[in-house]
A and B are shown apart, each in its own frame.
Chain A
């Protein structure tokens, strides 16, 4: 039996926690910034096009300005030369923000264990979800998106994500 406001107004009203309401709204309107550098980015093209259609999950508004995005998807190899740029883009995004590291290269350097490739972007910026594959199939990208939504659902508004302790190799 409904109690409180719901008892008075019936089904036209739902009471919930502010946290849940905001997470619920955020979840289905992620604005991704795709930091696509290599082959994995070509697979992201498939994720965005009609067959896999990322808009089913509310994340089709791909932004090309980090200032407008709240989800950073790194799809592709990141070299040492690229690292400061990645960091800058991450820093330019406003909180709250989430990061998906897609593909073997972004996660660990992949099979480029050599002098030029960064051995995992998590030495530069914090990562929320890692996706395996070289490249990951489009389904795996979508799965990662759902994972981020799960993380969002558990996060409280009161938690200041900017205060997380992370120190990457380029942080001085």
Chain B
């Protein structure tokens, strides 16, 4: 048996202050290979880069960080390497297919070159863009006009060649998106068709790139919360929670019990409405319009509840670092019960129509299949991965907010097709309902924010009546919550899978860098490979079933 990573690289790595294994860049490929093959770190969570321009204590300006999980999804390891002035390192795409788009993003945003990458080109910014916007010396407001869209032939031609097509004569080229009803937002997939069959496909994203990460570097920690709403806007609160959870991890604070339970309740409710909109939309794509009303109307009901609770229907910004903005209102429990009842009704009405429906089965079963191994290697997570039969759910593998004490099941598929992905979501709606009911029963009284004036705002009574309270409020608002220097990753189970935040803090009230691990990004990277060989109509359903949300995908 070969030696494990720790044995083999004992003399070559050092541990940095934040628990990352730092290796020379020439060893990265070998190290990741050893981790994959010997230590079974099969899941590449994310790759990102850091520009240390303003941090003088670091040996080089740039570093690349790899996050991996082992096959049981229990352990997370961080590998870091510094990039010298050649600004180049080895690509790890031969090991992890998920690295393909992740490395392209780093090239696009930071200008770090990955040798042997199959197709290193911009991914989020347009092709006329000059410079690398996430570098610290790129001015945040310096926009650049784009005059023309990419033809994507530079990707398509080699793809076709690899499939044995030397001439394009018999093929028809078609753009699905970026402005197409079935592209659910702004995603573009360019396909080469032989009849109605897709011989090869390439996807282009970035049409909704809104500079989330750069904006974060220019706002205080609490000001970022509204930005997180707009990542996966179908379940805004889950994004709030994921972000606050990561920052709280660096601060090392434990939330009051009531806050944890409220986060569970509202978080699961968000998961439900996320799944509702996904299922409603895919059923419309299939031509089953009535189900849209059955599933969307309960969502509308939840909006009413959320407006009462948070003041907004969609973009709630409900969480704060160290807690949340308001406690539950009087009558919340009753409203929640009504919502859950309507949701249950909507789901059962829909299932009645489709569960034993031949057309539905024919359109979804054995369509858009992705295998277990491939799904893991490509970095899929959440319902999409569970549909392949992999029981990876952060609420179970790395429980937070007492999830281990709730009685619920992980919904699993077996084939990994459109049908499984949809049914897993239907089942998760039921399981989330179970969790909410239990949490409501166990909901304790008490504070909803950590009682620390360096983190939570003081009560308004104090602000208006004494100078300490006033100063406290003033400083927290103007300077932000001071977060100790760290490099830290923490994730929760989002609507679409592992939703994590990698935060580099420098002790001030503004993060030095924030990177989201968007579950959609990896699902979308896999999409063109899943649909190759299938029919064009199936490609539409496959996209819907992966639940790609452009805000989260492009950030």
**Which residues from chain A contact B139 at a C-beta distance below 8 Å?**
115
* Residues B138 and A137 in contact, CB atoms below 8 Å apart: no
Stretch of B19-27, B53-61, B143-151, B154-162 on the interface side = B143-151
* Residues B313 and A43 in contact, CB atoms below 8 Å apart: yes
* Residues A82 and B315 in contact, CB atoms below 8 Å apart: no
Nearest opposing residue in chain A for B143, CB measure: A115
* Residues B313 and A38 in contact, CB atoms below 8 Å apart: no
How far apart sit A117 and B186, CA to CA, in the bound complex (Å)? 14
Nearest opposing residue in chain B for A39, CB measure: B233
* Residues B208 and A80 in contact, CB atoms below 8 Å apart: no
Nearest opposing residue in chain A for B303, CB measure: A46
Q: Report if A116 contacts B (CB, 8 A).
A: yes
Q: Report if B185 contacts A (CB, 8 A).
A: yes
* Residues B144 and A51 in contact, CB atoms below 8 Å apart: no
* Residues A51 and B300 in contact, CB atoms below 8 Å apart: yes
Stretch of A12-20, A83-91, A142-150, A151-159 on the interface side = A83-91
* Residues B300 and A38 in contact, CB atoms below 8 Å apart: no
Partner of B140, one of A64, A85, A114: A114
B204-233 vs A, CB cutoff 8 Å, 1 = contact: the mask equals 001111110011000000000011011001
Interface range, B side = 35 or more
Q: Report if B88 contacts A (CB, 8 A).
A: no
Q: From DSSP, what is the main secondary structure of chain A's interface residues?
A: loop
* Residues B210 and A114 in contact, CB atoms below 8 Å apart: yes
Partner of A85, one of B178, B293, B297: B178
* Residues B277 and A170 in contact, CB atoms below 8 Å apart: no
Q: Report if B501 contacts A (CB, 8 A).
A: no
B270-296 vs A, CB cutoff 8 Å, 1 = contact: the mask equals 000000010000000000000011001
* Residues B233 and A80 in contact, CB atoms below 8 Å apart: no
Partner of B145, one of A111, A134, A170: A170
Q: Report how many A-B pairs have Cβ atoms within 8 Å.
A: 126
**Which residues from chain A contact B142 at a C-beta distance below 8 Å?**
115
How far apart sit A138 and B186, CA to CA, in the bound complex (Å)? 22
B108-126 vs A, CB cutoff 8 Å, 1 = contact: the mask equals 0000000000000000111
* Residues A49 and B293 in contact, CB atoms below 8 Å apart: yes
Q: Report if A101 contacts B (CB, 8 A).
A: no
* Residues B233 and A38 in contact, CB atoms below 8 Å apart: yes
* Residues A43 and B314 in contact, CB atoms below 8 Å apart: yes
How far apart sit A141 and B186, CA to CA, in the bound complex (Å)? 21
**Which residues from chain A contact B126 at a C-beta distance below 8 Å?**
80-81
* Residues A49 and B140 in contact, CB atoms below 8 Å apart: no
* Residues B143 and A118 in contact, CB atoms below 8 Å apart: yes
Which of A36, A38, A134 neighbours the largest number of chain B CB atoms within 10 Å of its CB?
Answer: A38
How far apart sit A119 and B314, CA to CA, in the bound complex (Å)? 23
**Which residues from chain B contact A46 at a C-beta distance below 8 Å?**
296, 300, 303, 313
How far apart sit A84 and B144, CA to CA, in the bound complex (Å)? 13
* Residues A42 and B207 in contact, CB atoms below 8 Å apart: no
Nearest opposing residue in chain A for B140, CB measure: A114
* Residues B179 and A89 in contact, CB atoms below 8 Å apart: yes
Nearest opposing residue in chain B for A135, CB measure: B314
Q: Report if A108 contacts B (CB, 8 A).
A: no
Taking CB atoms and an 8 Å cut-off, the chain B residues in 511-555 that contact chain A are: 550-551
* Residues B214 and A169 in contact, CB atoms below 8 Å apart: no
Q: Give min CB distance, A13 to chain B, whole Å.
A: 41
**Which residues from chain A contact B186 at a C-beta distance below 8 Å?**
37-38, 76, 82
How far apart sit A135 and B303, CA to CA, in the bound complex (Å)? 13
A116-130 vs B, CB cutoff 8 Å, 1 = contact: the mask equals 111100000000000
Nearest opposing residue in chain A for B149, CB measure: A84
Q: Give min CB distance, B274 to chain A, whole Å.
A: 11
How far apart sit A169 and B124, CA to CA, in the bound complex (Å)? 22
**Which residues from chain B contact A76 at a C-beta distance below 8 Å?**
186, 208
Which of A64, A80, A89, A116 neighbours the largest number of chain B CB atoms within 10 Å of its CB?
Answer: A116
A29-71 vs B, CB cutoff 8 Å, 1 = contact: the mask equals 0000001111101110110011100000000000010000000
Q: Give min CB distance, B428 to chain A, whole Å.
A: 20
Q: Report if B133 contacts A (CB, 8 A).
A: yes
* Residues B297 and A51 in contact, CB atoms below 8 Å apart: yes
**Which residues from chain B contact A83 at a C-beta distance below 8 Å?**
145-146
**Which residues from chain A contact B214 at a C-beta distance below 8 Å?**
114-115
How far apart sit A85 and B150, CA to CA, in the bound complex (Å)? 11
**Which residues from chain B contact A35 at a C-beta distance below 8 Å?**
179
B285-329 vs A, CB cutoff 8 Å, 1 = contact: the mask equals 000000011001100100100000000011100000000000000
* Residues B181 and A115 in contact, CB atoms below 8 Å apart: no
**Which residues from chain A contact B208 at a C-beta distance below 8 Å?**
37-38, 76-77, 79, 82
**Which residues from chain A contact B145 at a C-beta distance below 8 Å?**
80, 83, 169-170
Known: A38-B230, A38-B551, A117-B143. A79 touches B148 (CB 8 A): no
* Residues A36 and B313 in contact, CB atoms below 8 Å apart: no
Q: Report if A112 contacts B (CB, 8 A).
A: yes
Nearest opposing residue in chain B for A119, CB measure: B143
Q: Give min CB distance, A126 to chain B, whole Å.
A: 18
Nearest opposing residue in chain B for A118, CB measure: B143
* Residues B211 and A117 in contact, CB atoms below 8 Å apart: yes
How far apart sit A77 and B543, CA to CA, in the bound complex (Å)? 21
Q: Report if B180 contacts A (CB, 8 A).
A: yes
* Residues A84 and B147 in contact, CB atoms below 8 Å apart: yes
How far apart sit A127 and B551, CA to CA, in the bound complex (Å)? 24
**Which residues from chain A contact B209 at a C-beta distance below 8 Å?**
79, 81, 116
Q: Report if A6 contacts B (CB, 8 A).
A: no
* Residues A115 and B293 in contact, CB atoms below 8 Å apart: no
How far apart sit A116 and B186, CA to CA, in the bound complex (Å)? 15
Q: Which residues of A contact B (CB under 8 A)?
A: 35-39, 41-43, 45-46, 49-51, 64, 76-77, 79-85, 89, 111-119, 134-135, 137, 169-170
Q: Which residues of B contact A (CB under 8 A)?
A: 124-126, 133, 138-149, 178-181, 185-186, 206-211, 214-215, 226-227, 229-230, 233-234, 277, 292-293, 296-297, 300, 303, 313-315, 550-551
A-B CB contact pairs (8 Å), 28 listed: A38-B185, A39-B314, A42-B234, A42-B277, A46-B300, A49-B292, A50-B297, A64-B180, A77-B208, A79-B210, A81-B126, A81-B149, A82-B178, A82-B207, A84-B147, A84-B148, A85-B179, A111-B227, A113-B140, A114-B140, A115-B138, A115-B141, A115-B143, A116-B125, A116-B143, A118-B143, A135-B314, A169-B145
4 A-B pairs besides A37-B208, A50-B293, A81-B207 with CB distance below 8 A are A38-B230, A39-B233, A82-B186, A111-B227
